[in-house]
Amino acid sequence: MTSVETPSFTELEAIAKRVRRDIIEMITAAKSGHPGGSLSAVELLVGLYFDQMKHDPKNPKWTDRDRFILGKGHAAPVLYSVMAEAGYVPKDQLNTLRRMGSIYQGHPDVRFIPALEASTGSLGEGLSVGLGMALAAKMNGSPSRTFVMLGDGEIQEGQIWESAMFGSFHKVDNIVAIVDYNKIQLDGWVKDIMDLEPLGDKWRAFGWHTITIDGHNLSEVRNAYVEAAATKGKPSVIIAHTIKGKGVSFMENNPKFHGSAPSADEFTKAMAELA
Amino acid sequence: MATNTKYELKIGPATREGFGRALVALGRENDQVVVCDADLSKSTFTHLFAKEFPERFISCGIAEANMVAIGSGLAASGKIAFVASFSAFVLNKGFEQLRVTAAYPNVPLKVVGTHSGISIGEDGPSQMSIEDLALATSLPGFVVVSPADDVAIFELVKTLAYHPAPCFIRAGRSKAAIIYTEGEKFPIGGSKTLLDGNDLTIIAHGLMVAESIRAAEALEAEGISARVIDMYSIKPHDVEAVHKAVSETGAIVVAEEHLVDGGLGVKIAQTVASATPCVMEFVGVQDRYAESGTPESILDKYGLLARDVISASKKVLARKK
Ligand SMILES: Cc1ncc(C[n+]2csc(CCOP(=O)(O)OP(=O)(O)O)c2C)c(N)n1
């Protein structure tokens, strides 16, 4: 098990910076991919893998490990980079993203990286799979907890709300859903496509302990995970307000960078900003 | 013998683009046309319709199952309703709704799936649609088409809009070779014999039509005369053209960007077996999921190039003797 000591925020910030650089490099090399929703999720994932989750990169199939599922599978670059930082997968091959034969497939694929918990890419399914895993842990008397990251567009899927009902009805208190609330989906702004508000009220009405934070503030991220862990008898959801494209000025709040790679010039500019 | 027809096979627009333009044309001629989309309007080209007819464009969010049933409600109320998404999502997530709200009550919903097959490339298997024809053709009463080029999809979308049954139109992401000239008509249940021949018949749809033409031209250089049929109407399919292919060429290769199991090939084999059987070979995705890569490298690795149609043709001819 890693994270014997609590890492400092300075350490976590340094990792987050490297992850952002990886994301830009990988997607530029691939000439396609999803930078916006990868950059918005960086602190949330760094907080999990380097601070909160009990896991062991040397023993990825350890039965009692905590599990993570990237429901919004198109944000694969952030997960690959974080898993590489943690030592699950080779860092020097990150730039093979989306190439034939690469373990870094366009969407997380357990056939290529067995340390992944689920193959995702079709939105709306990760929370259900995570609930199944969390329930299995309870049945086995395992302390394992499961974390599922959801996109705000993703939670328009009806299945999310079926799983939300399931989670509270079955008192699955070892699951944490994380909504990366970056306000933008593929075609534009969430409020123009299918508004989610009042989002916190919805989750509360579905019986979830609801924690609202700034998803780029590492201290708030840590406190949210700690609060979720301490919440018994019901599942927890963290509604993390984030900025799509966070860290690269021209990508921030720009729907164009949901699913397009930076040009050579944009790459240079982005890397300078992330220096 | 092959005819003298030459196909330049110049690269044209992707079929999803022709779909988008056909929607706009329909919108202009008929104010009952409505279009539902699930957060993929830029990819499916329904954004063209949204721009011109915002009041008839219905944003459903990322909720394909709901969108399908909303579309059925609109269609049951007299609207000419289109629902569009990636083929993988609208068919797989919306299948139960297609079954009970469109097929079973015979509601004339128009379902369009873009990004079909494996030629979408880098996004990988979760977005690739290789089961869609098996699913769509399994629904009683559905009309299912798989157009090969821009002209074909434009005409088919315009025709099927007024067809009084539920329909599924399969479209692609990548640029498609130009085969037809404007004005060509595509009746439901029809097919197009693009090259004549008497040694064997290659039956294809979608992107594999151009590959089959290339294959037939290469075979001709080796003295093998191959007939090429574009079976754009998957359900119902042109039974007469199949029977003619059997009696006149005695060997059939079916080539498609779909799982071999459950694709057009199975339906053609059924037609062939119910009359005078002949030898057949099948080119398509074999019982497996693909992976990320460039469209070219994926089509190469998973056996969907002219080369693969050629080897299947030689195999079927060897068995014919
Ligand atoms: C079921 C399904 N429908 C559609 C898509 C296509 N798609 C990929 S990403 C995306 C938008 C996702 O938006 P969101 O969940 O907000 O992700 P983020 O903004 O965090 O990138 C869509 C519609 C998909 N992958 N799965």
Give residue B94's pLDDT band: very low, low, confident or very high (50, 70, 90): very high
- Report the distance separating Cα A269 and Cα A250, nearest Å: 9
Does residue A2 carry a pLDDT above 60? no
Residue having the nearest C-alpha atom to atom 21 of ligand 1: A37
Mean per-residue pLDDT, B294-305 = 98
Is residue B40 predicted with pLDDT exceeding 80? yes
> Domain B192-320 adopts which CATH fold?
Rossmann fold (3.40.50)
The pLDDT of residue B1 is 37
* DSSP per-residue string spanning A143-208: ---EEEEEETTGGGSHHHHHHHHHHHHTT-TTEEEEEEE-SB-SSSBHHHHH---SHHHHHHHTT-
Query: A6 pLDDT band (50/70/90 cuts)?
Result: confident
What does the pLDDT read at residue A4?
A: 54
Q: Does the pLDDT of residue B246 top 60, yes or no?
A: yes
DSSP state of B139: S
Q: Place B3 in a pLDDT band, splitting at 50, 70 and 90.
A: low
Q: Which of A155, A185, A193, A253 to mutate to test the pocket of ligand 1 (most atoms within 8 A of CB)?
A: A185
pLDDT above 80: residue B5: no
Segment B290-315 mean pLDDT: 98
Closest partner residue to B124 among A106, A124, A154, by Cβ?
A106
Closest residue to B39, CB basis, from A100, A112, A153: A153
Residues paired with A238 in a beta bridge: A178, A211
Cross-chain Cβ contact B292/A124 below 8 Å: no
Kindly report the backbone phi and psi dihedral angles of residue A273, in degrees, each rounded to the nearest multiple of 5, phi listed first.
-65, -30
Please write the tens of the pLDDT for every residue from A137-149: 999 999 999 999 9
Asked if B294 and A120 come within 8 Å (Cβ–Cβ), the reply is no
Measured between CA atoms, how close is A195 to chain B, in angstroms?
9
Is residue B184 part of the annotated active site? The answer reads no
Say what the pLDDT of residue A1 is: 45
- Assess B294–A contact: CB distance below 8 Å, yes or no: yes
Span B101-120, mean pLDDT?
A: 98
Q: Does B292 touch chain A (CB under 8 A)?
A: yes
| Mean pLDDT score, A113-131 | 98
**B62 at the A interface (CB within 8 A)?**
yes
Longest dimension (CA), chain B: 62
- Selected catalytic residue, list B64, B155, B256, B281: B64
* Residues ≥6 apart with Cβ < 8 Å to B249: B197, B198, B199, B200, B201, B227
- Kindly give the pairing relationship between strand B279-285 and strand B251-259: parallel
Say whether pLDDT at B236 is over 70. yes
Residue B124 has its nearest CB partner, among A109, A185, A186, at: A109
Nearest atom within ligand 1 for CA of residue A244:
19
Helix (H) or strand (E) holding B92: helix B87-92
Contact B74/B102 with Cβ under 8 angstroms?
A: no
Domain ranges (residues) in chain B? 13-177, 192-320
Residue B40 C-alpha to ligand 1 middle, in angstroms? 9
Q: Do domains B13-177 and B192-320 have the same CATH topology?
A: yes
- CA–CA distance, A47 with B61 (Å, rounded to integer): 30
Does residue A251 surpass a pLDDT of 60? yes
**Closest atom, ligand 1, to C-alpha of A122:** 26
Interface test with A, best of B92, B97, B122 (most A CBs within 10 A): B122
* Residue contact A98–B293, C-beta within 8 A: yes
User: DSSP characters for chain A?
Assistant: ---SSPPPHHHHHHHHHHHHHHHHHHHHHHT-S-HHHHHTTHHHHHHIIIII----TTSTT-TT--EEEESSGGGHHHHHHHHHHHTSS-GGGGGGTTSTT-SS-SS--TTT-TTSS----STT-HHHHHHHHHHHHHHTT----EEEEEETTGGGSHHHHHHHHHHHHTT-TTEEEEEEE-SB-SSSBHHHHH---SHHHHHHHTT-EEEEEETT-HHHHHHHHHHHHH--SS-EEEEEE--TTTTSTTTTT-GGGGS----HHHHHHHHHHT-
Give me the mean pLDDT over the A112-131 stretch: 98
What is the ipTM score, two decimals? Answer: 0.95
By C-alpha distance, the chain A residue nearest B37 is A193
A69: alpha, beta or left, given left = phi > 0 and alpha = psi -120 to 50? beta
- pLDDT for A78 equals 98
Answer yes or no: is pLDDT of B2 > 50: no
Quick check: B292 pLDDT over 90?
A: yes
Mean confidence (pLDDT) of chain A:
97
Ligand 1 atom closest to the CA of A74, numbered from 1: 9
Rounded Cα–Cα distance for residues B238 and B240 (Å): 6
Examine the pLDDT at A193 and tell me if it is beyond 90: yes
CA distances from A182 to A52, A120, A164, B224 (A): 22, 20, 20, 59
Residue B290 pLDDT greater than 50, yes or no: yes
For A119: left if phi > 0, alpha if psi spans -120 to 50, otherwise beta; the answer is: beta
pLDDT score of A3: 47
CA-wise closest residue to A255 among A159, A184, A192? A184
| Cβ distance of A33 and B297 shorter than 8 Å | no
Atom of ligand 1 nearest to the CA of A186: 11
Task: Give the pLDDT mean for B217-222.
Answer: 98
What local confidence, expressed as pLDDT, does residue B4 receive? Answer: 54
The correct CATH number of B13-177 out of 3.30.70.2740, 3.40.50.970, 3.40.50.170, 3.90.1150.10 is: 3.40.50.970
CA of B117 to the centre of ligand 1 (A): 19
Interior angle at CA A82, CA A76 and CA A87, nearest 5: 120
C-alpha of residue A185 to centroid of ligand 1, in Å = 6
Enumerate domains of chain A plus CATH numbers: 9-273 (3.40.50.970)
DSSP three-state, residue B164: coil
**Dihedral, CA of residue B261, residue B267, residue B270 and residue B274, to nearest 10:** 180
**B133 min Cα distance to partner chain A (Å):** 19
pLDDT at position B275, please? 87
CB B82 within 8 A of CB B112: yes
User: Is residue A270 packed enough to be buried (19+ CB in 10 Å), middle (13-18) or exposed (0-12)?
Assistant: buried
What is the rounded CA–CA span in Å between residue B10 and residue A77?
36
Per-chain mean pLDDT for chain B: 97
* Interatomic CA distance for residues B118 and B289, integer angstroms: 9
Tens of pLDDT, residues A50-61: 999 999 999 999
Percent of chain B exceeding pLDDT 90 equals 97
Mean pLDDT, rounded, for B259-265: 97
B126 touches chain A (CB under 8 A): yes
